[in-house]
A and B are shown apart, each in its own frame.
Chain A
Amino acid sequence: MTDWDRFVFTFFNWKVMAEYLPKIVEGFILTVELALLIVVSGLALGLALAVIRSFGIRPLNWLIVFVVDLFRALPPLVIIVLIYFGLPSLGPAPSGFVSTWISLTLVLAAFAEEIVWGGILAVPKGQWEAARSTGLGFTATLTHVVLPQALRICIPPLTNRTIAITKGTALGSVVAVAEILSVASGAVAFSSNPSPLTLGAIAYLILFIPVVAFGRWVETRFAWKR
């Protein structure tokens, strides 16, 4: 066996790959579901928090800042493990899937809140004043004038964060979520061959390259019309 043959046998073993492909596909589908849930709920919660924060209710804003800083500071894996292994002692016992979903949603929401809030602050004061001077109220100004501009500013950092945090679905493998990495490493243990990991990597690429491309498209689509 040449070095090349050994490399192919180790990482591109077609027999092993074919055997575990169906499992990896299942893991892929589960990962897509988990990722979609995290993106939708994380972004919605983050946006909602930023909007609430803009109303400037002091005690509420302290709470938001505290929670947001907390979830930005904690490593996502720590949050997942705390919820999965810690919560049951308090009563509810979420599954690994739900634990991962909740954890990454909170992390994404925290970062999204900071980014959207930054976007709201980046909209010039004159925009508020112009809108208010025509009689638009605070909420109408926020929804029709400020947020559309803030979100455009936010799209690049928001896309980056969303992708980074959604990749954290792989952390679910620690709490028995049958997502791509978990399925692939299980298959490696069974077959004593790392080829399923190659499949797993390909599955991640298939999942995230479109997401990255979509992010780019959104960025250009919502750039200022000139």
Chain B
Amino acid sequence: MLSGVATARPIVDAIGIHKHFGALHVLKGVDLVVSERELVFVIGPSGSGKSTLLRCCNRLETPSSGSVMVDGIDLLDRRTDINLARQRIGMVFQQFNLYPHMTARGNVTLALRKVAGKSRAEADELADAALARVGLAEKAEAYPLELSGGQQQRVAIARAIALEPRVMLFDEPTSALDPELVGGVLAVMRSLREAGMTMVVVSHEMAFARAAADRVVFMDHGVIVEQGTPAQVFGAPQQERTRAFLRQLDH
């Protein structure tokens, strides 16, 4: 996937990212460059800065320094309309974060109507199509509390993809799910990937990474320690810290 797009503009181009929370230095100069249609998988111990890095990619966190370009838009430029830019960046959270007072369809249509300016009829149509893509066409009228965790997460994915983003950011999308519900969410993610979606995934689902990732990035203490194809990183890790992390995962 990396070859052939070498001349194309990367979708995510985050360079030299530092992030401080008060005295805490959480990201210490991270570069994350993601090409079109690439699936980058981010792993690392708790507290290593994975979520913070992901959140810098849609400015839910503002980096202390560095530059973040997404689809050619400078997210850190004051003149950038961040709300417009965020339409191109889908995000899926560990806790789903569906709006509990709205149906599945309502969750998906809100941004379509209020941000993308679609009419109610248009938005409903797009929402139903997005819900169909995640296999929940028949749940359009259901409220989040009526859905399983796995179904809620798939609605959250539908909410993001309905806006036709250029890249999808996943922050531990299956960590809050009962084991038997994980497969359904991963299947949806795989189908997105097959449809050519550019994705950055923070997750502990190593089997999924092996099967679907183009590149695996290992982070620790706010830096990228090692990255490469799944075969390289999982099969022949170069750094001791990576080996230690992978060893401890096996247990």
Contact = CB atoms under 8 A, between A and B. Distances in A.
A130 B86 contact: no
A130 B58 contact: no
Interface stretch (A46-54, A114-122, A132-140): A132-140
B83 interface: yes
A130 to B, nearest CB: 4
B87 to A, nearest CB: 4
B233 to A, nearest CB: 28
A133 B84 CA distance: 10
A135 B99 contact: no
Given A148-B101, A226-B146, A133 B58 contact: yes
Contacts of B86: 132-135
Q: On chain A, which size bracket covers the interface?
A: 20 to 34
A138 to B, nearest CB: 9
A125 to B, nearest CB: 9
Contacts of A129: 60, 91, 93, 97
A37 interface: no
Nearest to B88: A135
A130 B101 contact: no
Given A127-B97, A145-B99, A226-B145, A135 B110 contact: no
A165 interface: no
A99 B211 CA distance: 73
Given A135-B163, A145-B99, A148-B101, A130 B93 contact: yes
B156 interface: yes
Contacts of B156: 130
B91 A133 contact: yes
Contacts of B12: none
A136 B107 CA distance: 12
A225 interface: yes
Contacts of B146: 226
A131 interface: yes
Nearest to A129: B60
Nearest to A134: B111
B82 to A, nearest CB: 8
A144 B114 contact: yes
Nearest to B94: A126
B208 interface: no
Nearest to B106: A144
Nearest to A125: B97
A134 B115 contact: yes
A166 interface: no
Contact of A136 (B83, B90, B97, B145): B83
Interface of B: 58, 60, 83-87, 89-91, 93, 95, 97-101, 110-111, 114-116, 143, 145-146, 156, 159-160, 163
30 contacts: A126-B93, A127-B97, A129-B91, A130-B98, A130-B159, A131-B110, A131-B111, A132-B86, A133-B58, A133-B60, A133-B86, A133-B90, A133-B160, A134-B115, A134-B163, A135-B85, A135-B111, A135-B115, A136-B110, A136-B111, A136-B114, A136-B115, A140-B114, A144-B114, A145-B99, A224-B100, A224-B145, A225-B145, A226-B143, A226-B145
Interface of A: 124, 126-127, 129-137, 140, 144-145, 148-149, 152, 224-226
